[in-house]
Amino acid sequence: MHSLPPWPYPFWIAHRGAGKLAPENTLAAFRAGQARGFRMAECDVTLSADEQAFLLHDATLERTTDGHGPTAALPWSALSGLDAGAWHGPGFRGERLPQLSALADHARASGLLLNLEIKPSPGRAVRTGEVVAREAARLWVGLTPPLLSSFETEALQAARETAPALPRALLLKRLEPGWLDTALGLGCVAVVGHHGALDAAAIAGAHDAGLRVLSYTVNTTPEAHRLRAAGIDGLITDAIDHFDLGAPV
Ligand code: G3P
Ligand code: MG
């Protein structure tokens, strides 16, 4: 049995900044999550055509901005002018896509801890892993390092080679055969599993191998109770105004 790695992160993590209460992956979202007591947020980081790291979930722009087409087709000069808030509600009109550097500035000023999900556009896993890791290592100097996570093993391997000291986590939609060996082979400190894929045996197996276990996206009290009883180390949630963060679930 291995010992578990040091863990500077809190149990509760706000998904995409503030779940559904503010436009996801914007600075307004991080502020909304923090206003409700969250000390850590998950967000999605991708690359512009000219390899600037910025926050967006989708590979296309339509759902969460007033832009059109593939995210990776536009340079940052074009992306930076898009409205990333009006789709959510008129009160957020004018909210911009944040560069990773703007998020780091916010983290430095406010103490927010981050889980940066490396979210490559199709075909750009290696380069996205490299750039996000390089920028995270540079921007978070002197702060608690962000936890880098990804579904894409190539992105995590590239992040490892670029900034080996930054902690990494493998995202898992389901527990395919070999999932634990894959995470260990990438030098991860954690796995982040879909809540439906995790039970006490899987969590104990990961703990025995020296990995922490987080889960996404956990939005109900019974599921939070189940996972806490099963030994989970942290929960990523959209339900940022539902849980009592100060009480054991
Ligand atoms: O990082 C956990 C979760 O964000 C993964 O799914 O699609 O919401 O980025 P998704
Ligand atoms: Mg995500």
Best residue among 116, 117, 121, 232 to mutate for probing ligand 1, ranked by most atoms within 8 Å of CB: 117
pLDDT at 247: 67
Residue 184 included in any domain: yes
**Active-site option among 15, 88, 106, 195:** 15
Phi/psi-derived region of residue 19, left when phi > 0, alpha when psi is between -120 and 50, beta in every other case: left
Q: SS3 of 92, please? A: helix
Residue 131 included in any domain: yes
**Any ligand 1 atom below 6 A from CB of 239:** no
Total domains in the fold of the chain: 1
Q: What are phi and psi of 200, to 5 degrees?
A: -60, -35
Residue 1 included in any domain: no
**Active-site option among 2, 57, 106, 225:** 57
Q: Which atom of ligand 1 is nearest to the CA of 42?
A: 1
- Domain that includes residue 118, residue range: 12-237
* DSSP code at position 73: G
15 is catalytic: yes
- Measure the CA dihedral 215/217/219/221, to 10°: -10
Residue 242 included in any domain: no
H/E element holding 83?
none
pLDDT at 249: 56
CATH at 61:
3.20.20.190
Residue 135 included in any domain: yes
Q: SS3 of 67, please? A: coil
Residue 7 included in any domain: no
Q: What is the mean pLDDT of each run of 10 residues along the chain (249 residues)?
A: 89 96 98 97 98 98 98 98 98 98 98 98 98 98 98 98 98 98 98 98 98 98 97 97 78
pLDDT at 248: 56
What is the rounded CA–CA span in Å between residue 190 and residue 213?
6
Residue 247 included in any domain: no
DSSP string, 115-152: EEEE-PPTT-HHHHHHHHHHHHHHHTTTSPPPEEEES-
Phi/psi-derived region of residue 203, left when phi > 0, alpha when psi is between -120 and 50, beta in every other case: alpha
Q: Classify each residue of 130-163 as buried b or exposed e, where b means 16 or more C-beta atoms within 10 Å of its C-beta.
A: bbbbbbbbebbeeeebbbbbbbbbbbbbbbbebb
Residue 77 included in any domain: yes
Q: Are 89 and 27 in contact (CB under 8 A)?
A: no
2 is catalytic: no
